A and B are shown apart, each in its own frame.
Chain A
Amino acid sequence: MANKPKIPNIAEIMADLKSGKLWNDLAKKFTESQVWTSSFRHGYADTPRNRVLQIASNVWLHLHPVKIHRHALRIKFTWCMGGITFLLFLSTVVTGVILMFYYRPVGEYAYFDMKYLQYDVPFGMLMRNMHRWAAHAMVITVWLHMFRVFLTGSYKPPREFNWVIGVFLVTFTLLLSFTGYLLPWDQLAMWAVTVGTNMARGTPFLGHEGPFQEFVPLISPRYDARSVLLGGSLVGPPALLRFYVLHCIFIPLVAGALMIVHFWRIRKDGGISGPL
């Protein structure tokens, strides 16, 4: 009879509940289970060791150093603009993938898919709005980030190379925005891109209206710098497909790769800039 399990009486349970012991025991059961300990590699008690591990053992957060200079926390110094630019980029990736489920980059369908997105797809209009406004905001924040970096002289040695990467990223931000501008396939899109790509006609040597093109054989309205961009001599369905592929695949991949280099170089060049 000695092996009989002890049945707790209700008074004991109430006492445990009141003192918090019940919750502590329960929490302990969870956090010491195999599933938990294999997922999280550090405790949550606010100890210096855990503060380091929170960053160093987390794949997303380990982009940060575990310690930074106090001045780097000041919004007055960083304006937060680099981080906001990255956040807005991520927002466009998420909303953009959702839009891709409904949008076909085909001359006959594109505009009507936009209408479908706006009027029939649940939250379609919101996704489209967020995508467009985040993209516009990103252009502004990346300029402000660049302005801040200039004003603090943060491009000076040893950070020259990261500034160059940054200039590439500004350019790709504008190209991302520009290629996306065509996709709604409305009047605004078609003519803005017509104005923009018409400039390529004036490319020296390679544009059919550019200076010195007469010295380059085969340059014509159908075969010049502009027609390479458009896949034709005007902004038509081939241009739509080309811009779609550039917008959704090529430029995000290249820009993403450069972002990795950009963030990595911040660390390697001695962390965020500050007075020496």
Chain B
Amino acid sequence: MATAVKKKTAEDLPEKVHVWPYLVRLEFLCSLIVIIGLAVWSIVIDAPLEEAANPTKTPNPSKAPWYFLGLQDILVYFDPWFAGVIAPVLIIVGLMLIPYLDVNPKGNGYYTYTERKFAIWVYSFGFLVLWIALIIMGVFLRGPGWNLFMPWQYWDPHKVVALVNVDLPYAFGFRDYWYSAAFGFSVVLGYFILGTAGYMFLERKAIKNVGILRMLLKINLLLIMIGIVIKIVLRLAFNIKYIMVTPWINI
């Protein structure tokens, strides 16, 4: 009475498996590979040690540790209070807020692009372009004076770069100090107000479900991120230095 043995398929397998041995052996294997890789890497390549610290001898260029070079590169476009203090704080706070701002219930626990295109675009742009690409640029392309050098170019410490940048109010013909300040201030304020208002209008049906505070936070964090890109483009394409100049703060 031999019954035909059905061939096992993926559906027949139990949904849950024992951690021992199935996960533990993977972890063990993975640990082995990582530790061997680390040991071999460490035997082959020595950690750098330059000459003793000397506070009277500033190297040119002076670079932060590589993982902060994205932020250091933003310094070209923003003052230290923003690039070195506010931007990192906003990045950390913004990352923490992600689960509370992204209310899309889809895509929880699996890879999907189509169900959450916008979220994936924003995060990938922030991470891959604004963080990783700027780091790569900072490590390999920034030479003496923080000037841009192509990999095949000699890092000439005497490279002459024309300083032709002007502030946005100046480019628009404002010459009086306070009129310029007022103009710059209205541009920055207008950008955030119009951006927020436009978003709220387009998404007005969602306000009831998503909540007004959530939407305000989301759009303003996004506007800051886009604003950084706008400022970079304005500098590189139109030589604009500051958008807003006041006695206390410049943007």
| Residues of chain A having any CB pair with chain B under 8 Å | 48, 51-52, 54-55, 61, 64-70, 72-73, 75, 77, 80, 83-84, 87-88, 91, 111, 114-115, 118, 125-126, 128-134, 136-137, 139, 143, 147, 150-157, 159-160, 163-164, 167, 170-171, 174, 177-178, 181, 184-192, 194-196, 198-204, 207, 209-212, 234-236, 273-276
- With most chain A CB atoms within 10 A of its CB, the pick from B18, B50, B58 is B18
Residue of A nearest to B75 (CB): A199
Partner of A130, one of B19, B39, B80: B39
Report which of A153, A192, A200 forms a contact with B65, defined as CB distance below 8 A. Answer: A192
Which residues of chain B are near A126, meaning CB under 8 Å?
Answer: 39, 42-43
Q: Which of B9-17, B155-163, B196-204 contacts A (4 or more CB under 8 A)?
A: B9-17
Please give, as numbers and ranges, the residues of chain B lying within 8 Å of A209 by CB-CB distance.
80
Q: Is the C-beta of B2 less than 8 angstroms from some C-beta in chain A?
A: no
B interface residues (Cβ-Cβ under 8 A, vs A):
13-24, 26-27, 30-31, 34-35, 38-39, 41-43, 45-55, 57-59, 62-68, 71-72, 79-86, 92, 95-96, 98-100, 102, 105-112, 116, 119-120, 123, 127, 248-249
Min CB–CB distance A186 → chain B (angstroms): 4
Residue of B nearest to A50 (CB): B20
Evaluate contact between B107 and A55: CB separation under 8 angstroms. Answer: no
Residue of A at shortest CB range from B95?
A167
Known: A151-B120, A207-B85. A187 touches B57 (CB 8 A): yes
A-B contact pairs, 20 of them (CB 8 A): A52-B20, A61-B20, A64-B24, A69-B16, A69-B17, A83-B30, A84-B34, A91-B38, A126-B43, A130-B38, A150-B120, A153-B108, A184-B49, A186-B52, A188-B48, A190-B54, A192-B64, A196-B68, A204-B81, A204-B86
Chain A min CB distance to B167 (Å):
17
> DSSP class of A's interface residues: helix, strand, loop or mixed?
helix
**Is the Cβ of A87 less than 8 Å from the Cβ of B110?**
no
- Could you say which residues of chain B place their CB within 8 Å of the CB of A115? 49
B53 and A186 contacting across the interface, CB-CB below 8 Å: yes
By a CB distance below 8 angstroms, the chain B residues around A189 are 53
Interface centre among B39, B53, B84 (most CB of A within 10 A): B53
Taking each of B45, B99, B110, which has the highest tally of chain A beta carbons within 10 Å of its own beta carbon? B99
Contact A202 B81 (CB under 8 A): yes
Q: Are A199 and B84 in contact (CB under 8 A)?
A: yes
